[in-house]
Structure formats: C-alpha cells, structure tokens
Amino acid sequence: MDVLKLSDSSFEMPLDPSWEVTYFDEDDSKADVRFNSEKYPVLGVKIISIDAPKYNKDNKLKDHLFDPILLESHPDLDIKVSSNDIYGIEYQANLESGEKVKVWRKATVVGSRTVRLATLALSWMSNPASDDVVNKILAEIEEKLKKCSFAPKETDLDIEAKVLGRISRLKQEIISPWDGLSMLMPASWPSEINKEEKTLVSRVTGYEEAMLFLNCDDIKIPSETKITSDYMQHIASSIGADESIKDISLLSTGKDTYLISCNKAEIDQEAGVTLNNYFWHIFALKEDILKRLHFTYVFPNINDMFLSSLTNVLNENIKNLKLD
C-alpha cells in the first residue's frame, strides 16, 4: 500500500496508487500530492511538533487546531475525535484570488507534553468543470484521512520541538561586565568577570564543558585611520586561510563596526572528545580607539541539539550588543 510518510513517520496517510508525492530534501516535514498525473490541484501537507507542557486535552486541543484567524472567522467549528485519539477539524474558504481552499487539521498528543499537528490544504480555481473534478478528489482525501496516524514513538521532529521550547523559555537579562559594554545573556548562566583585564567566562547551566569566553582589548590608533569593508574582508580571508575554519561571515553591525563569525571543530586528545568552537570577532572604531571583542562558544560534540541551538541565541545577542 502506498503511504505518505513525513518526518520519520511522525505523520502517515495512505495514498491512492495513482497519486504522486513530491518530498522535499531540505524539509522532510512537508510534501505535495498530485492526483491522476495532473499538475493541479495540489494537496500540500505539513507536520509540525509543538512542545506543550501545559496542553489542554479537555478542550480537544482547540488551542493548537485553531490559529487566531480561524478563531475569529470560524470559532464554532466542530472538533471530531477518532477512536485513536486524533482530533480534527476541516473548513473551506474562498480566497481573494478567486480560488477555493479546503483545509484539514489533525492533532494528537505524543508522550506527556508533545502535540503533533498536521495541516493539509487543497486549493483550486473554482468553476463548474473544476468543482466537479475536485469534489471527487476531496471525497477521496477524506476517506484516506480516516486512516491517518501519528507514530507513537518520539521522533527527531519532537526532539527539535522540545529544544525550541526550551530555547524560547530561556530567560535573559542585560549585563554590563565592564564600562562601555552591555549585552543580553542567559540569566541562569554563572559568569566569572575580570573588569581590569576585560575578560568573561560564562558556563551553560547543566553542562560542565559548554561555556562562552570573551576577551576585549582597546587599541589607540591614528585619528585619520579608517576601517573599510575591504580591510575587514582581508582580515576575514586571513582567518579563512585555516582550512579547518568553516562558515566565515562578515557583517557590518553599525557605523565603523564589523562582525566576523566562523566555527571549527577540533579534537581534545586528552579528553577524547570533539569540541565545537564558534567564534565572533567584533571590530569597532570609536574615535581613535579600536575596540576588539573576541567571543568563543565551546561545547562538546555530543549530538545535543540544545547546545547547538544556543549558537543562534548567542549570535543574535552578540550582533545586537551595545558599545558606548
């Protein structure tokens, strides 16, 4: 039997043998389904996982099945519950383009705090001829949806959702480790600050070997000296001469302020572990003082999605720090 499978069977639905499925290499959580070798209409299918420690099953997962627009336009949609605890809604709408769209949403709870939500949408240009064809397709889809399922096991999609939830709940605060610098940092991370030498070491709570280092220095330069993008590109290129350096990026974050970021992995022979190193180098010219800030985020390569996702948090914080 032909079966649509998304994200390691996070969502499955049986298919008619004549239907053609297009999967996306860059995103295994979505697919397009076409019917009887025709180009249109197309059924778009998308599965997401939500970390929901306070989900409300008593309201049949309405908080997840309904988005704000749907709550306003169709607040009284009936939520149907299948024998295997799958909650579902469906509705049809007319688009401004003249198209019609039929939407189905299916949701279930996996484990103690994960909600999976599948959305299927079929749109078509409405006219008497196409409506007759599409109505038959709609009936076929609804029959297949009666047999849809969600894998009971935790998948990578669920793990990613938990990590994103953990990141979203990460409380941050503005710190000023020394005069002239302020930035956001996770509030729970213990830090050691040396104001005189302008260094900081901050540890990721719960991890012994994951930490952020910062050292800063000020260099007095001739007042007529300018920092140009060409000069910074030269510095970035020199950093890239090291073949182990990956993902070099040069960004202007303000007037006479540049950020070079990159990363590399290296083996700690003594500890027998591979360490991921993410670097951010800031060069900021303030009158005749060149401020250089060097951040290094180090964490072990232990397949921990939370530690790797923290690079995005730190990247935003460093890009938006304030230098007075």
- Enumerate domains of the chain plus CATH numbers: 3-160 (3.40.1000.10), 170-323 (3.40.1000.10)
Condensed to tens digits (0 to 9), the pLDDT of residues 22-32 reads 999 999 999 99
b/e 269-284 (16+ beta carbons within 10 angstroms → b): eeeeeebbbbbbbbbb
Task: Give the residue-averaged pLDDT of 274-282.
Answer: 96
| pLDDT for 281 beyond 80 | yes
Widest pairwise Cα distance in the chain: 78
Burial of 151 (0-12, 13-18, 19+ CB in 10 A): middle
Strands (E), the chain: 3-6, 11-14, 20-24, 27-34, 42-51, 80-81, 87-94, 99-110, 114-125, 172-175, 181-186, 191-194, 199-203, 211-220, 246-254, 257-268, 273-286, 289-300, 322-323
Q: What angle do CA 248, 251, 252 make, to 5 degrees?
A: 155
What does the pLDDT read at residue 225? 76
Q: Tell me the percentage of the chain whose pLDDT exceeds 90.
A: 74
Condensed to tens digits (0 to 9), the pLDDT of residues 129-148 reads 888 889 999 999 999 999 99
Helices (H), 86-170: 128-145, 156-168
The residues with which 313 forms a beta bridge, in sequence order, are: none
Confidence of residue 303 (pLDDT cuts 50, 70, 90): confident
What CA–CA distance (Å, rounded) separates 200 from 213?
Answer: 6
What CA–CA distance (Å, rounded) separates 46 from 146?
Answer: 17
More confident residue, 319 or 59: 319
What CA–CA distance (Å, rounded) separates 277 from 265?
Answer: 6
| pLDDT for 246 beyond 90 | yes
Instruction: Give the count of beta carbons closer than 10 Å to the beta carbon of residue 149.
Output: 16
Task: Give the residue-averaged pLDDT of 220-226.
Answer: 80
What CA–CA distance (Å, rounded) separates 232 from 126?
Answer: 56
Structure tokens at 246: 């990956």
| pLDDT for 258 beyond 90 | yes
What does the pLDDT read at residue 156? 94
Using alpha carbons, select from 283, 276, 318 the residue that is nearest to residue 301. Answer: 276
What's 231's DSSP letter? H
3-state SS assignment for residue 21: strand
Structure tokens at 91: 């509705």
| pLDDT for 268 beyond 80 | yes
What CA–CA distance (Å, rounded) separates 137 from 141?
Answer: 6
Q: Are 322 and 181 in contact (CB under 8 A)?
A: yes
Average pLDDT, the chain: 92
Task: Give the residue-averaged pLDDT of 15-44.
Answer: 91
Burial of 203 (0-12, 13-18, 19+ CB in 10 A): middle
More confident residue, 225 or 71: 71
Task: Give the residue-averaged pLDDT of 212-235.
Answer: 88
What does the pLDDT read at residue 1? 62
Using alpha carbons, select from 57, 91, 98 the residue that is nearest to residue 75. Answer: 91
Task: Give the residue-averaged pLDDT of 74-101.
Answer: 89
The residues with which 213 forms a beta bridge, in sequence order, are: 201, 296
What CA–CA distance (Å, rounded) separates 29 from 35?
Answer: 20
